Amino acid sequence: MRKQIAAANWKMNMTFQQGEKLLDDILGVDIHLKEHQQVIFAVPFPYLLMTRSEVEDEFNYEVAAQNCYHKKSGAYTGEVSADMLHSTGVNYCIVGHSERREYFAETNAMLADKVNLCLENFITPIFCCGEALSIREANTQNDFVAQQLKESLFHLSAKQIKGIIVAYEPIWAIGTGKTATTGQAQEMHAHLRSVLAGQYGADVANEIPILYGGSVKANNAKELFSCPDVDGGLVGGASLVATDFVEIIKALK
Task: For the beta carbon of residue 178, count every other beta carbon within 10 angstroms.
Answer: 12
Residue positions annotated with a catalytic role: 97, 169
Q: Given this model, what pLDDT does residue 1 score?
A: 86
Share of the chain above pLDDT 70, in %: 98
Q: How far apart are CA 220 and CA 123, in angstroms?
A: 30
Orientation angle between helical segments 16-27 and 242-250, nearest 10 degrees: 40
Average pLDDT value over all residues in the chain: 96
Going from N- to C-terminal start, the domains of the chain cover 4-250
For 234-248, how does the pLDDT look when each residue is reduced to its tens digit (9 = 90+)? Answer: 999 999 999 999 999
Q: Given this model, what pLDDT does residue 177 score?
A: 62
Burial 124-145 (b: 16+ CB within 10 A, else e): bbbbbbbbbeebbeeeebbeeb
* Predicted confidence band of residue 175 (pLDDT cuts 50, 70, 90): low
More confident residue, 215 or 97: 97
* Predicted confidence band of residue 16 (pLDDT cuts 50, 70, 90): very high
Nearest to 93 by CA among 45, 125, 127: 125
Task: For the beta carbon of residue 3, count every other beta carbon within 10 angstroms.
Answer: 17
Q: Any idea which architecture 4-250 has in CATH? A: Alpha-Beta Barrel (3.20)
Q: Given this model, what pLDDT does residue 215 score?
A: 84
Q: Given this model, what pLDDT does residue 174 score?
A: 79
Q: Given this model, what pLDDT does residue 179 score?
A: 66
Q: Given this model, what pLDDT does residue 240 score?
A: 97
Instruction: Note whether 101 and 131 are within 8 A (CB).
Output: no
Q: How far apart are CA 20 and CA 74, in angstroms?
A: 32
For 60-84, how does the pLDDT look when each residue is reduced to its tens digit (9 = 90+)? Answer: 999 999 999 999 999 999 999 999 9
Share of the chain above pLDDT 90, in %: 94
